[in-house]
Amino acid sequence: MKGLRPGHVPLERALSKLGIASRTQAREWILAGRVSVNGVVRRDPAYGVSPERAVLEIDGRRVARAEWRTFILHKPRGVVTTRSDEKGRPTVFSLIKEPGLHLIAVGRLDWATSGLLILTNDTRLSDWLTDPEHEVGRTYLVTVRGEMLESELERLRQGIRDDGDLLRVDEAVLRKSSRRESHLTVRLHEGKNREIRRIFLALGHEVSRLKRVAYGGLELGELEPGEYREITREEMERLFPGMPASKS
């Protein structure tokens, strides 16, 4: 980042990287004078620090990197992935009954989409999983209105321009089709905003149901909507070779 020394990040981001607060919460703490760096209170959220070297304190108590925690949640329809919602809708964070944890959602599923959502307090892991360069695939079960044709499946694979974006799936398998609706399995790795809904709508088929059933080698399995389970680091390393190593 411009103006920061190598290895340094803004103070608000450092607290987030340690897995102890969101950047919004960290900013509030800093502006309130609750955070000190190497014994000096810093009220500038952009103040540069090295998270691995600086002595950080909140209200005079030293903070350390939080224990690594990662979960898989079966997100129900009608639940949002933001931390709070102006409409008062439930959020995925209210479903994880683990006090004192600051988790972030790996990517987002929109309000009407259900299925597998990864939540973690490891920002490096989240960044790695969502980076298109790593080509981590996501698999969805898709129901659309109307009858899908094989010629349309080929267009999905070749790509469709929509609002300046090239939308394209890695794989599309037609499981069942009728004049009323069609059922497909779709796999992609990039995950642009509402990509699946947009690409099918461009073909004239509205998505009526969308469910993510896999993220890389991690599968939703038998989890019911609203249920979650914790994932060990060993399981994640086995399913996602190349994921960033843990920092102590």
- Give the chain's radius of gyration (CA, Å): 21
- Indicate if the alpha-carbon torsion angle 80, 81, 82, 84 is positive or negative: positive
Which stretches does DSSP call E strand in 70-170? 70-75, 104-105, 114-120, 138-145, 160-162, 165-167
Q: Is 127 a catalytic residue?
A: no
Going by C-alpha positions, the residue among 139, 131, 116 that lies closest to residue 185 is 139
Determine which one of 110, 162, 165, 170 is catalytic. 110
Give how far Cα 232 sits from Cα of 68, 136, 212, Å. 9, 19, 21
Cβ neighbours of residue 241 under 8 Å, at least 6 residues apart?
none
Going by C-alpha positions, the residue among 16, 18, 9 that lies closest to residue 67 is 18
How far from chain centre, in Å, is Cα 109?
8
Residue type for position 176: K
Cβ distance 183 to 247 under 8 Å?
Answer: no
CA angle 164, 166, 172 (to 5 degrees): 145
- Count CA within 13 A, CB hemisphere, residue 24: 5
Supply the residues annotated as catalytic: 110
